[in-house]
Structure 1
Amino acid sequence: MATAEVRAEITTFRGEMQRFPPAPLRETPGLDVNFGRMIILGFESSCDETGVAVVCTERGLLAHALHTQIAMHADYGGVVPELASRDHIRRALPLTTEVLAQAGLVLGDVDAIAYTAGPGLAGALLVGASVAQSMAWTLGVPAIPIHHLEGHLLSPRLATPQPAFPFVALLVSGGHTQLMRVDGVGRYELLGETLDDAAGEAFDKSAKLLGLGYPGGPALSALAEQGDADRFELPRPMLHSGDLDFSFSGLKTAVLTKVKAANANGAMDEQTRADLAAATQRAIVEVLIAKAAKALRQTGLKRLVVAGGVGANRLLRQRLETALRPLKGEAFFPPLALCTDNGAMIAFAAAQRVQAGLWSPEDDPATSLQHAFTVRPRWDLAEVSRA
């Protein structure tokens, strides 16, 4: 049963929907779409960012807007799922209005609506799916569910120069750390993944041990700029494992041991904290680089795409480009503004799937009550890969 507050927010949402200019009625959802040129509105709401964007299959990214909930969750030291869901409801329509205005469009110009269907927080995903499918039904256009990680994986192709297929992708965020071989849109092969904590999670947990604020990863990286990474020796888990898998839980334990020792000796001052931050960051980055380079050698490929929130880390970007030179490899990153969760990557992934022939109106959940508002909080990327 929804709370009174959530009911009120949904009522407000319905009222705001009426502010949009009416669109031409399309009797059969999706069947009159011109697949040569499409304008796609994308929604991202898998966690604590509400992202909305407009992508044209011919012209690329037209506009995007993002609202982050960092300030709202900071007092709790992490994401509170119910608060995240409520905030997505409040932000979806204002952000939609903003991006349509930026692009010089009205809602009736939209040919399809894409949304993150998983993985992520169930409630947050349901908000995005509800908004997207409600709009799709109202307009009589397709609703296209997108895998969150596929959005990240393809996002560097929004930049110029665009990485050509095939390439190795390093997906590195707070919830995922994976190496993928990518031979085309929808053609993904898992090469390796974390066996426990993700790299972003290692950043966040270590930051918490150091008494840093939320979100921990960026705070730790900022503090590391002032530190001496050579002062503390930390492990590089699975660095020489012979495979392409990762493990970061042991690193977190080692950081905890160093923090306890410094506190016990009365040595935990600001410089010690900065030195530990620098050592932690370097340990994580060195493992990521070593595994990524090994993946290029193993596959024989020369292009490495880095995506996900940790892809914004400055040390990772600097060290990776240097490490790939002996391999004659090249690293590609999304623009910094698109490293975190965002609507642009969702709209773009939908455009890429349509253009690759991997989606048709028959796949539209809006045409089937059985699949309406379906989301997948847990969803393996391999399931969206074609043979």
Structure 2
Amino acid sequence: MSSQNVYILGIESSCDDTSASILCNGHVLSNVVASQKIHEQYGGVVPELASRAHQQNIVPVVDQAIKQANINKSDLSAIAFTRGPGLMGSLLVGTSFAKSLALSLEIPLIDVNHMQAHILAHFIDEEDFDKPEFPFLALTISGGHTQIVKVTDHFDMEIIGETIDDAVGEAFDKSAKILGLPYPGGPLIDKHAQSGNPKAFPFTKPRVDGLNFSFSGLKTAVLYFVQKQVKENPDFIKENLEDVCASIQYTIINILIDKLKKASKETGIKTIAIGGGVSANSGIRKSLKEGEHKYGWKTFVPKFEYTTDNAAMIGIVGYLKYLKRDFTDMSIVAKARIKF
């Protein structure tokens, strides 16, 4: 192996997906994700079950990633892992494994902030994919987070707006649950919304100061609206599912785009990048593209497989930190809540 090649093993275990990825000089050689189906019957992630499944999955997933990359573990330059934020039990599995492997291979250990990784996924070396230029605004939208981040450099980030209650992913999933859709319901709302009328049922948008978001009121509004309609017509959901999903999605996207417009105006930044699991939503992607014509934005949307929780995004942060020799030591501990 050529000595100038930097091979990073990325490990992601913040929630219910166990993932391992190998990157060579910022280019993805493998990105293996083991999803946990067990949570579907509970309608949400059960932390205790998630950490047990990570323990079962982590060795085969890492082994698979190394094999698919066609390298040996002795070729690895460093190991990057998710330190937080996330579920404590899940984080502990990834952290302990990364520390043990780094110790046994005598290579550097790199801790990664999960939310920074969603943003820096844009810097994975991919053909036909442009990287955003600094400074840019990042909208990170997931099941646990909704943030607008001003990104001045790879590791110079400032949260300028965030949710004061629920995350956008939770608003999608809870609305889906109210409609009787299985977990995770966000992608199903997106699917049904495609053939619905987004203006069929107007939902009011919350008034929140500055660049912050709120989604709990919308969730309650959807609940009361559906309960009222079902009382009058027991078949209401079945007869209007597409239109209700389209209306919910339309309202959520409007809330996000309105705040982005405000952030862009206030900062003067017209380069916008999105990240996080909810950025897989087709309506959000479409609205962002429309923003290029409407507001003169330059927008960046990561590849679908880099939007949800995956280790390639952990690996790219690991690579960028490796170039700066920004390593951690064995005293590092996982943290469920962590800021930039």
What is the TM-score when the length of structure 1 is the normalising length? 0.83
- Residues 1:150 and 1:358: Cα distance change in structure 2 (over 3 Å): farther
Return 5+ residue gaps in structure 1 as ranges.
1-33, 382-387
Match of 1:261 in 2: 228
Q: Is the alpha carbon distance of 1:332 and 1:52 closer, same or farther for their aligned partners in structure 2, counting shifts above 3 Å? A: same
Aligned-pair CA distance for 1:327: 2.7
**Residue matched to 1:152:** 118
**One-letter code aligned to 1:93:** V
1:236-385 aligned within 5 A: 236-238=205-207, 241=208, 243-266=210-233, 267-355=235-323, 357=324, 359-360=326-327, 364-366=328-330, 371-372=331-332, 374-381=333-340
Say if 2:109 is the partner of 1:121. Answer: no
* Equivalent residue number for residue 156 of structure 2: 187
Deviation at 1:169, TM superposition (A): 0.4
Name which of 54, 77, 80 aligns with 1:88.
54
Q: Secondary structure at the match of 1:85?
A: helix
- Which residue pairs with 1:211 in the alignment? 180
Q: Following the alignment from structure 1 to structure 2, what is the Cα–Cα distance between the partners of residues 271 and 142? A: 58
Q: Is the 8 A contact 1:227 1:271 kept in 2?
A: no
- Which residue of 2 is the match for residue 221 of structure 1? 190
CA distance in 2, matches of 1:97, 1:358: 26
Alignment of 1:178 with 2:147, yes or no, is: yes
- State the aligned residue count: 334
Over the aligned positions, Cα root-mean-square deviation in angstroms equals 1.5
1:305 maps to a residue whose letter is A
Q: Using the TM superposition, give the Cα deviation of residue 163 of structure 1 relative to its aligned residue in structure 2, in angstroms.
A: 1.2
Q: Is residue 110–residue 321 contact of structure 2 (8 Å, CA) maintained in 1? A: no
Equivalent position SS for 1:365: coil
> What pairs with 1:32-181 in structure 2 (closer than 5 Å)?
37-57=5-25, 60-69=27-36, 71-158=37-124, 159=126, 160-181=129-150
> What does the per-residue CA deviation read over 1:82-111, in whole Å, with 9 as the maximum and x for residues that have no partner?
111111111111111211122110111111
Percent identity at matched positions?
40
Following superposition, the deviation at residue 229 of structure 1 comes to 2.0
User: Using the alignment, how far apart are the partners of 2:5 and 2:71 within structure 1?
Assistant: 15
Q: Which amino acid aligns with 2:232?
A: N
Q: What is the TM-score with the length of structure 2 in the denominator?
A: 0.94
Q: Deviations over 1:299-331 (max 9, x none)?
A: 112210100011010011111111232332111
Q: CA offset at residue 242 of structure 1?
A: 5.5
Which runs of at least 4 in structure 1 moved beyond 3 Å after TM superposition? none
Structure 2 residues without counterparts, runs of 5 or longer: none
